[in-house]
Amino acid sequence: MRKILSYHFIGYLTLIIVVVIINIALKYGDDSSYYRYFIKPIVPALILHYFFKNIRNYKREKAVLVVFGILLFFLGDLFFLDRYSVFSFNMAIVMLIFAKICFIVRFLNHEDFKIKRIIPFLIFCSLYILFILTAIINNIKDIYFVQVLVYLFITLLFGLFTYLRYRAVNKVSFVLVLIGYLLILVVDGLSALNMFTPGFQYNLFSSTIIALAFNLSQFFIVVGLLKETPEIS
């Protein structure tokens, strides 16, 4: 635990939280939203800096997947700023889907995955996604339905491969990546409700939760992957 809660880790975590809060303050400030385009790149830059600063004996192809994943999450978030434009929304969905695929492929490096372990987690994720679909199904437009369905399917797949790391990697790595994935579920759920449910609109509180969860999810996943070591049976 001490190795996780190092001053180095806490320093980056604090910086990310501060930058996110500044970004949200600009969002709800007067005529300051333009500056958000300059603030948003800071968090992915911090995450990538932490990654390269702590990388040890990392295979190039694995590092490339992590870097592309973070960059695609950033681009998806950038397009999502103009989410009520059909083009921007579709681009955001595509970028976020490929970001998750990058991490899914990154997880595919263990031969001792046990498929039977996924059943409880599969039930949990399926019920969560079913809840989201039920909540938005009456308000989602036809032009968005397929994209949202594919996105939720990739999110479910992401969760399955996250959980399949259980006992295939060390506990610290598994827990950190799992926390990152659970934060992604929070982001996807609240974003879907805000986007497609009239009674659940964006406000200061929900925007702060979504922004923090979105950025911290990537940070926890990256930290977890950096601490990954194979678990010997």
Token couple for 168: 């295939």
Domain residue spans of the chain: 7-226
51 and 106 in contact (C-beta within 8 Å)?
A: no
Q: How confident is the model at residue 45 (pLDDT cuts 50, 70, 90)?
A: very high
110 and 168 in contact (C-beta within 8 Å)?
A: yes
Token couple for 150: 């594919």
Question: For the residues 123-142, what does the mean pLDDT come to?
Answer: 80
Average the pLDDT over each of 21-25, 47-51, 124-128, 220-224 and give the range with the smallest value.
Answer: 124-128
Using a cut of 0.85, tell me whether the model's pTM lies above it.
yes
pLDDT of residue 66: 95
Token couple for 82: 């103009």
